Amino acid sequence: MNTKRIVSADWSLAVHGGAGSSPATWSAEKRESRKLAMEVALDIGRRVLSGGGTALDAVESAVAALESDGNFHAGRGATLTTAGHVELDASIMDGATAGCGGVAAITVVTNPIHVARRVMHSTPHVLIVGSGADAFARQQAFPMATAADFLSLAKPSEQPSATELKFGTVGCVARDSSGNLAAATSTSGTTGKLAGRVGDSPLIGAGTFADNRYGAVSATGIGEEFIRRCVAYDLIAQVRYANRTLGDAAKEMFDNRLPSEAGGIIGVDASGEIVIVRNTPGMSWGAADAGGRFETGFE
Catalytic residue IDs: 169
252: left (phi over 0), alpha (psi -120 to 50) or beta: alpha
Candidates 190, 208, 280, 284; binder of ligand ASP (CB under 6 A) is: 190
201 vs 66: CA distance, rounded Å: 15
Say whether 102 sits in a helix, a strand or coil: strand
Judged by CB under 6 A, the stretch of 39-47, 155-163, 218-226, 277-285 that binds ligand ASP is 218-226
- When asked if residue 17 is in the footprint of ligand ASP (CB under 6 A), the reply is no
- When asked if residue 71 is in the footprint of ligand ASP (CB under 6 A), the reply is no
Choose between 176 and 200: whose C-beta lies nearer to ligand ASP. 200
**Contact present, 15 and 285 (Cβ < 8 Å):** yes
Strands 215-221 and 263-269 turn out to be: antiparallel
Candidates 60, 87, 149, 200; binder of ligand ASP (CB under 6 A) is: 200
Q: Compute the least distance from the CB of residue 167 to ligand ASP, in Å.
A: 3
Within 13 A of 23's CA, how many CA atoms are on the CB side? Answer: 19
**Contact present, 263 and 220 (Cβ < 8 Å):** yes
Task: Count the residues of the shown chain that bind ligand ASP, applying the rule CB under 6 A.
Answer: 17
Candidates 45, 95, 223, 272; binder of ligand ASP (CB under 6 A) is: 223
**Contact present, 282 and 30 (Cβ < 8 Å):** no
- When asked if residue 110 is in the footprint of ligand ASP (CB under 6 A), the reply is no
Judged by CB under 6 A, the stretch of 24-32, 37-45, 92-100, 217-225 that binds ligand ASP is 217-225
Judged by CB under 6 A, the stretch of 26-34, 49-57, 99-107, 164-172 that binds ligand ASP is 164-172
Strands (E), the chain: 12-20, 88-94, 100-106, 127-129, 170-175, 181-187, 208-211, 215-221, 263-269, 274-278, 282-289, 294-297
- When asked if residue 199 is in the footprint of ligand ASP (CB under 6 A), the reply is yes
For helices 130-139 and 112-122, give the axis angle rounded to 10 degrees.
Answer: 80
Q: Interaction with ligand ASP in 237-296: which residues (CB under 6 A)?
A: 263
- When asked if residue 215 is in the footprint of ligand ASP (CB under 6 A), the reply is no
Q: Compute the least distance from the CB of residue 78 to ligand ASP, in Å.
A: 11
- When asked if residue 152 is in the footprint of ligand ASP (CB under 6 A), the reply is no
Tallying the residues shown for the chain, one arrives at 299
Q: Compute the least distance from the CB of residue 209 to ligand ASP, in Å.
A: 14
Q: Compute the least distance from the CB of residue 54 to ligand ASP, in Å.
A: 25
278 vs 276: CA distance, rounded Å: 7
- Residue 79's identity, in one-letter code, is T
Q: Compute the least distance from the CB of residue 101 to ligand ASP, in Å.
A: 17
Q: Compute the least distance from the CB of residue 231 to ligand ASP, in Å.
A: 10
Say whether 261 sits in a helix, a strand or coil: coil
Say whether 177 sits in a helix, a strand or coil: coil
148 vs 135: CA distance, rounded Å: 20
- When asked if residue 67 is in the footprint of ligand ASP (CB under 6 A), the reply is no
Query: Which residues make up the interface to ligand ASP (CB under 6 A)?
Result: 18, 73, 167-169, 187, 189-190, 199-201, 207, 220-223, 263
